[in-house]
């Protein structure tokens, strides 16, 4: 009997693919900053009311993130923040800043957008503002400012919308806009502003609208030695499409084994015409190969190299990460390939 060798080639249309054997979960260290605006609630005690401009707030963030299948993300971190306010009435004005720490957890979902290395991101953070004691008294030419805060913790939610893009291999750059709203409406800081003609109370819970930028620093992988290419001329053979599938994730897993008589069948797996696994002997043991898809149309091409002791070469393949995770029966010969089309949007 002529030996059989099964070639599995994954061809991604429209651009380069990710590295071989991609991780399902990518850990990263993240750092970021944000610039925002916030307003106080103003109440007039007497005379002419003070007014305010939306004033700048800022934050610095440090933490870690996990990204699964280039689709779902989760991050935890700590934030050092300053919260600014600007009040004025006639010639009297003051700028105040309140420093505090925050801790938050954030989850998001992302979907490919336009280019193959950019994603739209939708998420929400849940955190806590650690509000410590603060006190400020300022008197100048009849203009008085008395500001204070009482220690307490305030939980908040912060929905986000933005974009993420691939930066230099495993690294990611994230930009977005978010609105933070505190669930505890206890004032974070109370300020009394007085002149000889007027008095105004200003309170703030530090809700704010902000723009954030974060850099997710990935870990370099150890490079593997190149996998040798198959030697058969499979390009000249006929090709039969046996299935068209819809992927749920960017990273899928091909699970391969021989469920019939083990008769010496071997396979090779190629990713975008590049070998991923070469000359794998099919046995009862299930072998798994992870591959990374690109948005759009993807093709898995199966090519026989020989026919073992019992022709034709048959194998089983489960495609994990697509709808239904189907189990496919693969039958190839020296004259015909088989192909599975996979689309990921």
Has residue 172 been placed in a domain? yes
Distances (CA, A) of 251 to 67, 171, 185: 12, 17, 43
Classify residue 60: in a domain, yes or no: yes
Which of 207, 330, 224 minimizes the C-alpha distance to 267?
Answer: 330
Residues 15, 156 within the same domain: no
The domain boundary, picked from 151, 182, 217, lies at 217
Q: How many domains does the chain have?
A: 2
| Boundaries of domain holding 132 | 26-217
Cα–Cα dist 205/163, whole Å? 28
Residue 94 lies in a domain: yes
Task: For the chain, give the longest Cα–Cα distance.
Answer: 106
* 325 lies in the same domain as 237: yes
Of the candidates 182, 198, 217, which is a domain's last residue? Answer: 217
Q: Is residue 336 part of a domain?
A: yes
pTM reported for the whole predicted model: 0.73
**One domain, residues 189 and 280:** no
State whether 213 and 254 are in the same domain. Answer: no
Are 97 and 118 contacting, i.e. CB atoms less than 8 angstroms apart? no
Q: Domain of 32: which CATH number?
A: 2.40.160.20
- Residues 237, 211 share a domain: no
pLDDT at 8: 43
Q: What is the pLDDT of residue 86?
A: 94
Q: Indicate whether 194 and 296 sit together in one domain.
A: no
b/e per residue 287-315 (b: at least 16 CB within 10 A): eebbbbbbbeebbbbbbbbbbbeebebbb
Residues 318 and 234 in one domain: yes
* Three-state secondary structure readout of 243-283: EEEEECCCEEEEEEECCCCCCCCEEEEEECCEEEEEEEECC
pLDDT digits (tens, 9 = 90+) for 5-21: 444 444 433 333 333 45
Same domain, 43 and 163: yes
pLDDT digits (tens, 9 = 90+) for 168-180: 778 999 999 999 9
Of 91, 15, 102, 28, nearest in space to 65 by CA: 28
Residue 86 lies in a domain: yes
CA dihedral 179, 185, 186, 189 (to 10 degrees): 30
Six token digits for residue 3: 């030996």
258 plus 155 within the same structural domain? no
- If asked whether residues 161 and 191 sit together in one domain, one would say yes
User: For residue 182, with 0-12 CB atoms within 10 Å meaning exposed, 13-18 middle and 19 or more buried, which class applies?
Assistant: buried
Same domain, yes or no: 177 and 71:
yes
141: left (phi over 0), alpha (psi -120 to 50) or beta: left
Residues of the chain with pLDDT under 70: 1-22, 114-116, 224, 307-313
pLDDT of residue 145: 95
Q: Comparing C-alpha atoms, which of 102, 101, 103, 107 is closest to residue 75?
A: 107
Same domain flag for 260 and 318: yes
Residue 301 covered by a domain? yes
pLDDT of residue 173: 94
From 308, 301, 228, select the one nearest 265 (Cα to Cα).
308
**Distance from the Cα of residue 120 to its chain's centroid:** 9
217, 245, 260: which is the final residue of a domain? 217
Which strand (E) or helix (H) includes residue 308? none
Q: What is the pLDDT of residue 15?
A: 33
* Residue 10 within any structural domain of the chain: yes
> Does any domain span residue 222?
no
Which residues make beta-bridge pairs with 10?
Answer: 271, 300
**How remote is the C-alpha of 205 from its chain's centroid?**
30
């Amino acid at each position: 009997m002529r030996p059989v060798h099964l070639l599995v080639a994954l061809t991604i249309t429209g651009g380069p693919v990710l590295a071989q054997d991609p991780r399902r979960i990518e850990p990263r260290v993240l750092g970021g900053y944000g610039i925002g605006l916030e307003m106080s609630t103003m109440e007039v005690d007497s005379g002419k009311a003070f007014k305010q401009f939306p004033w700048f707030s800022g934050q610095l963030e440090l933490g870690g993130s996990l990204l699964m299948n280039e689709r779902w993300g989760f991050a935890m971190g700590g934030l050092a923040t300053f919260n600014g306010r600007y009040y004025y009435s006639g010639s009297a004005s003051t700028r105040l800043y309140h420093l505090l720490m925050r801790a938050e957890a954030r989850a998001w979902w992302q979907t490919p957008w336009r280019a193959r290395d950019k994603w739209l991101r939708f998420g929400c953070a849940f955190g806590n503002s650690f509000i410590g004691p603060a006190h400020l008294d300022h008197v100048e030419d009849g203009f008085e400012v008395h500001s204070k805060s009482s220690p307490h913790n305030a939980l908040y939610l912060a929905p986000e919308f933005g974009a993420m893009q691939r930066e230099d291999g495993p690294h990611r750059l994230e930009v977005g806009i978010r609105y933070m709203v505190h669930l505890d409406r206890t004032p974070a800081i109370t300020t009394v502003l007085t002149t000889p003609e007027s008095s105004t109370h200003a309170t703030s819970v530090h809700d704010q609208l902000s723009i954030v930028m974060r850099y997710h620093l990935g870990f370099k992988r150890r490079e593997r030695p190149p996998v040798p290419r198959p030697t058969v001329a499979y390009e000249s053979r006929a090709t039969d499409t046996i299935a068209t599938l819809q992927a749920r994730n960017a990273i899928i897993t091909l699970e391969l084994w021989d469920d019939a008589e083990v008769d010496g069948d071997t396979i090779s797996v190629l990713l975008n015409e590049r070998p991923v696994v070469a000359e794998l002997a099919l046995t009862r043991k299930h072998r798994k190969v992870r591959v990374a898809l690109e948005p759009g149309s993807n093709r898995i091409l199966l090519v026989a190299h020989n026919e073992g002791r019992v022709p034709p070469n048959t194998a089983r393949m489960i495609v994990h990460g697509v709808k239904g995770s189907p189990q496919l029966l693969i039958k190839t010969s020296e004259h015909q390939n088989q192909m599975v089309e996979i689309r990921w949007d």
